[in-house]
Chains A and B, each alone.
Chain A
């Protein structure tokens, strides 16, 4: 009965498929199939680290929680790392390894906690029970930033979580939380108010009921930061968090800011705190020797007090209570209990966390704005981990070179450009520095080898003449009759597709230069709200002044000149304006009032003028600095008079960028804080792209026109590329209903490039992958092929099968690579290998037929191969080369058959004890193939087979036509082969038992 039921249900399921397929197939993984993202780094400058965590008993294992690039695990003591959290929010606050089950149970608290202006947000607490392979969310959806997680070492079910909470607004999801059931239920055990969160949490290592919590009053807006207040405090509980008391005996008077707390693992009575206070002389490091009953100030050096919101962590050597390390601009270490400090060894500045090896305190790890560093000598010499591609791009652009380059600027790591493809993969050394400081927008001059780059607040805008190595600063300077210029931290620049030397920059005004930045003209009034309440950068910081320029507000943030009309320029401001001019700047219109349901004053993050229609543009808004995490994207078709919302519930996370396809106006790409979304229907529905694409913040997207590659600047995982998105242009309902749909292939250039690339350092360095040079056969299946046979063949114009490929079986887009080569020739059997015989010859350029057989059905398509247009070979050279290669290919197979026959005859002759014949045969064979030695330095003298295949391989592997020297060599080999054939037929003629051997025919042998 059960079986019958199952069968009938299965039938229904089968019947359901065609009906539901259409709907399902426009979404997510079922649509994108083999379309996969490619990561190219760079890793050489890495990116910001928020938290490091040791495995408590196995010092090979270390975890790094990064500011924007997820969680990485090292299995080799910090030499290399692998990502283990790609599906989830990539901004990490805290990690915890359960001391009671350290191989399996890991907690990840999302949302970075060193609250600079550019921080991302978290979305809760996660737990893995299998060492980080799979994850479950435990809630805290609105926590935004988790500062600490501590598991009771004696009870895995008891967990404490310190939630710092929302940075840009009020929130009650803050304070200290406790679970006693392994994270299923939680109670809030310490809470102050909507503005005060838990900045640090510590547990007495010997008594898990003793807890310390620092509470911090803080708030950021787009234009200010405030650290400190009456509610910041340090608390202690001795009853597992049931009751808390302030422990301020010896603390400075007045308001407090961010406090850190650390308990010495070797002596829990020794505590350290770093205090941000009203008076500078009372800031700094404090120590308690009586578990918090009283405190003494020890030190207020710069290294201890610098930027408390950014550097607050204190770490005590697990074996020595007097060795204490403080995070900071350079990082500081004390070996006298905190009285005096020296800097840690040279490394990237801005150190956020430090850990000691569990067994050997000389081995240390530091997490910085530029990745993870290791030390083997107590922090004196620091060595960077080279395979963490965590670069945080604010912006990227591409050029039209072959291969094209990607340009972009990074958080605290300057500006760079690097290639989309490079010999042996894209390595650290392929990247070129083109700017200092924090890097933002980097643009290539459309026609000249000149690069524009900038640092924060347009303090410097560089024009770099790459060929002549000339650098000039060209930022717009104050002009008579105009007020002080206000530039955003991430100041916008733009170039024109109409006038190559034109260059735009935005302050509160739009600046235009027609001579690459030598002279500037202001072509707009103040395009912002010019709201004085949002112009208090100088007073930013709270208890510790922080006038970095990062809070400059009421500025222009995005500029775009229409590619269809140079007089149409769109400008967006950080305070919500969307301005357009249709006359090159003479008149301006603010269209933001026309946008429905748009909150006032949120950032106009990006405007994308359409390439299809002058009046059409897309605009995305970001309200996260006003505590609004919702996505906003709109479209206008009438120069901004009316706007339509194109966001659906599919999209999670605020939006920073949108990219329109150049061919299909309904194909759009959306960069959000939690990854990439794609629509194929103009925004009616969106699908998250997750194929090798982490849920990382996508800050900028560009589409390379020649390759159709989608290039993303991510803020935490470097540059990520989806090669050739053209199949997405063809997706529609009719196509999805078909069982098999072949996408139109681009003609593929037969790759004859060759170059060298050393492999030095690859063992431990990140290497970005290259795009394939193979021809790609792309098709869509409306369901996965699981039962029955499915094959894919390539046939030449005569219908002869020349290659059998392993077809993709996925529902959705399948991509099969064909390297346009024939099978390697059959080679005579010898004692060792003939390495030349492993070469597979390239097929000729031309049109080939792709034959896909699935069950009883056959589907076909065509694919064109062309020769490199830059090749110097004529068509007769090509024909000659091909014929020569195939002649040698066939010769090699003829020799293979001869040796096969000869071996069979020899064997029989031995059986028949015909020693004379055996000797003759063996004598001949020794001249045909190697009959002794090995494949390495024990190899024997090469014989005919080796000479033949080596020459074959030499010619087949060359981009050039066969040379005279090669042809002469060929004639020697031919002659030797002819002689061998003659000798052989003489021997063969006399053999009587040939018929008895049941030899395979030539065709059978070659099959």
Chain B
């Protein structure tokens, strides 16, 4: 009996707390959510000090395991290095000016089209996180409300960055971030696919397995796919290195041998 009463009391107490809490959540503004987010993942100042990251990862496609190395630098330089049968194939390499990839047939470097390159340049100010100093960058950020993602309640935040060019026409660069209402970290990002065969569909990236690296938390597991569609592609990150030593020449478009 005693147990039962205690249980009821506790339930009541928790209910009160829950109501209080829901008030707190309702009153959240975008900036409060972002502030809590940065606090929870190790502090905005620490995050801003990061000069670059190197992620070692794996994707599994039809039983084929593909090792990846992803570099992202604070000045916008980036690349993904894929290893196939001991050969390195670079994809999405950007040195600040030129965006290029290796052609899978010839394994030679080829430049991406001018539009893609110009759009990539616009992302140079987004390291390590698009939301940092979003006002100074002229971005529009808005809390749209709550939405259930992966069975979990999230804050849905819209961010509009510099307009990009799609097939010759200017379009808003809009993404939707979903911050877990419990941990205040993003667990999903959605954005509309702007060109190619899936144009008009919504892409979804989910993030989990946040783990600490030198005092900062990063998601070590991601999936990528179309919103609401099964068969999302998992990416498992085995290691994240902060401020990696990388020679700038690795990002540069190679001259023909």
Q: Are A and B subunits of one complex?
A: yes
Over the window 758-782 of chain A, the binary record of Cβ atoms lying under 8 Å from chain B Cβ atoms (1 yes, 0 no) is 0000010000000010000000010
Interface residue ranges of A592-631 to B (CB < 8 Å): none
**Total B residues in contact with A, Cβ cutoff 8 Å:** 61
Which one of B106, B152, B172, B236 contacts A938 once the chains associate, using CB atoms below 8 Å? Answer: B106
Task: Flag whether A73 is at the interface (Cβ < 8 A).
Answer: yes
Distance of A413 from chain B, by nearest CB (Å): 25
A residues near B234, Cβ cutoff 8 Å: 805-806
Residues of A within 8 A of B231 (CB): 772, 817
Cβ–Cβ contact B209 & A790, under 8 A: yes
Could you tell me the distance in whole angstroms from the C-beta of B76 to the nearest C-beta in chain A?
26
Within 8 A of B (CB), among A774-817: 781, 783-790, 803-806, 809-812, 815, 817
- Given A36-B230, A691-B228, A832-B107: A786 and B183 interface contact (C-beta under 8 Å): yes
Contact of B63 among A16, A772, A840 (CB under 8 A): A840
Contact A830 B85 (CB under 8 A): yes
Residue in contact with B235 in the complex, picked from A31, A772, A806, CB distance below 8 Å: A806
Shortest Cβ distance from A995 into chain B, in angstroms?
23
Assess the B180–A804 pair: CB atoms within 8 A.
no
Residue A979 lies at the interface, judged by CB distance under 8 Å to chain B: no
A806/B106 contact (C-beta < 8 A), A36-B228, A786-B183 known: no
Q: Roughly how many angstroms separate A1001 CA and B108 CA in the complex, as a whole number?
A: 32
A692-B228, A833-B84, A838-B64 given as contacts; is B17 within 8 A of A30 (CB)?
no
Contact yes or no, B106 A935, CB < 8 A? yes
A991 at the interface (CB under 8 A from B): no
Report the separation of the CA atoms of residues A711 and B58 in the bound assembly, to the nearest whole angstrom.
36
B49 at the A/B interface (Cβ < 8 Å)?
A: no
Q: Are A130 and B158 in contact (CB under 8 A)?
A: yes
B169–A787 CB distance below 8 A: no
Question: Does B60 interact with chain A (Cβ within 8 Å)?
Answer: yes
| Total CB contacts across the A-B interface at under 8 A | 171
Within 8 A of B (CB), among A17-32: 19-20, 28-31
Identify the closest chain B residue to A776 (Cβ).
B230
Contact string against B for A residues 125-161, beta-carbon threshold 8 Å, 1 for contact and 0 otherwise = 0000011011000000000000000000000000000
Which residues of A have CB within 8 Å of B217? 787
**Which of A7-15, A343-351, A403-411, A865-873 touches B?**
A7-15
- A301 vs chain B, min Cβ distance (A): 40
* Cα–Cα distance between A805 and B235 once the two chains are bound (Å): 10
Question: Which of A303-311, A421-429, A533-541, A821-829 has 4 or more CB atoms under 8 Å from chain B?
Answer: A821-829
How far does the alpha carbon of A196 sit from the alpha carbon of B169 in the complex, in Å?
A: 45
Give the contacting residue for A786; candidates B36, B58, B210; CB below 8 A: B210
Check if B211 is an interface residue, CB within 8 A of chain A: yes
Contact residue among B86, B174, B183, B202 (Cβ-Cβ distance under 8 Å from A787): B183
Chain A interface residue number, banded: 35 or more
Q: Is B250 an interface residue (CB 8 A)?
A: no
Contact of A76 among B171, B182, B199 (CB under 8 A): B199
Interface residues of B in 175-224 (CB under 8 A from A): 176, 180, 182-183, 185, 187, 192, 197, 199-202, 206, 208-211, 217, 220-221, 223
With a cutoff of 8 Å between Cβ atoms, the chain B residues found around residue A781 in the complex are: 151
A936 contacts partner chain B, Cβ-Cβ < 8 Å:
yes
- Does A42 interact with chain B (Cβ within 8 Å)? no
Verify A784–B210 contact, CB threshold 8 A: no
A interface secondary structure, majority: loop
User: Chain A residues near B152 (CB, 8 Å)?
Assistant: 30, 783-784, 786, 810-811
Interface string of B5-37 (1 = CB under 8 A from A): 000000100100110110010000000000010
Q: Which of B199, B202, B221 contacts A75 (CB 8 A)?
A: B199
> For the complex, is A684 an interface residue (Cβ under 8 Å from B)?
no
Q: Is A506 an interface residue (CB 8 A)?
A: no
Question: By the criterion CB–CB under 8 Å, are B63 and A833 in contact?
Answer: no
The listed residue with most A CB atoms (<10 A of its CB), out of B17, B150, B223, is B150
Chain B residues closer than 8 Å to A34, beta-carbon distance: 230
Let me know if A33 is at the binding interface, CB within 8 A: yes
Question: Of the candidates B17, B62, B209, which one forms a contact with A16 in the assembled complex, judged by CB atoms under 8 Å apart?
Answer: B17
Within 8 Å by CB of B148, from A29, A809, A819, A938, lies A29
Residues of A within 8 A of B209 (CB): 785-790, 809
Judge if B87 is at the interface, Cβ distance under 8 Å: yes
- Which residues on the B side are within 8 Å of A934 (C-beta)? 105-107
Report whether B85 and A821 are in contact in the complex, using a CB–CB cutoff of 8 Å: no
User: How many angstroms from the CA of A809 to the CA of B185 in the assembled complex?
Assistant: 15
Closest to A829 in B: B86
**How far apart are B220's CB and chain A's nearest CB, in angstroms?**
7
Q: Which of B107, B148, B208 contacts A30 (CB 8 A)?
A: B148
Pairs A–B under 8 Å by Cβ, sample size 24 = A9-B17, A16-B18, A131-B172, A691-B228, A692-B230, A784-B151, A786-B152, A786-B180, A786-B210, A787-B217, A803-B63, A806-B60, A809-B209, A810-B151, A811-B150, A812-B150, A819-B62, A824-B63, A824-B64, A828-B86, A833-B87, A837-B85, A934-B107, A936-B106
Question: Closest 9 interchain pairs by CB?
Answer: A806-B234, A811-B151, A821-B63, A840-B63, A829-B86, A810-B150, A82-B200, A812-B151, A692-B228
Residues of A within 8 A of B (CB): 3, 6, 9-10, 12-16, 19-20, 28-31, 33-34, 36, 58, 60, 73-76, 80-82, 84, 86, 103-104, 130-131, 133-134, 691-692, 763, 772, 781, 783-790, 803-806, 809-812, 815, 817, 819, 821-824, 827-830, 832-834, 837-838, 840, 896, 900, 934-936, 938
